[in-house]
């Protein structure tokens, strides 16, 4: 938990904020070596997984305005179940230089 104070017209004070998560993940990963396609030094990796949030997916803030009593603001809930996918490319260039690019979502 933390505490933040902002001066200004509203005099916003955030008394506490936090988010706790415990997530399980089950998935697969496949890897293709570029040498099988005649491209040396390149590896492509794909991933797919299913995630499940085991803890509470909700989030909230305790705030006050201009010294008022604190009140709770509910944040957006995280999804309980989530499909994830990713793709990465790893390439050895020259003189010890390696290129890595990835996208996960």
pLDDT tens string, the chain, 105 residues long: the values are 455 545 555 566 666 666 677 889 999 999 999 988 888 889 999 999 999 988 877 777 777 777 677 777 777 777 889 999 999 999 998 888 999 999 988
65 beta partners: 12
**CB within 8 Å of 49: residues ≥ 6 apart:** 25, 26, 27, 28, 83, 84, 85
Stated pTM of the model: 0.57
- Map the chain to HEC letters: CCCEECCCCCCEEEEEEECCCCEEEEEEEEEEEHHHHCCCCEEEEEEEEEEEECCCCCCEEEEEECCCCCEEEECCCCCCEEEEEEEEEEEECCCCCEEEEEEEC
């Amino acid at each position: 938990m933390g505490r933040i104070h902002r001066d200004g017209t509203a005099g916003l004070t955030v008394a506490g904020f936090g988010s706790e998560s415990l997530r399980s993940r089950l998935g697969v990963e496949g890897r293709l070596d570029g040498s099988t396609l005649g491209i040396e030094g390149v590896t492509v990796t794909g991933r797919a997984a299913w995630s499940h949030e085991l803890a509470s997916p909700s989030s909230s803030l305790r705030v006050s305005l201009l010294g008022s009593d604190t009140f709770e603001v509910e944040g957006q809930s995280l999804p309980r179940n989530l499909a994830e996918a990713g793709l990465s490319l790893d390439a050895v260039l020259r003189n010890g230089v390696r290129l890595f690019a990835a996208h996960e979502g």
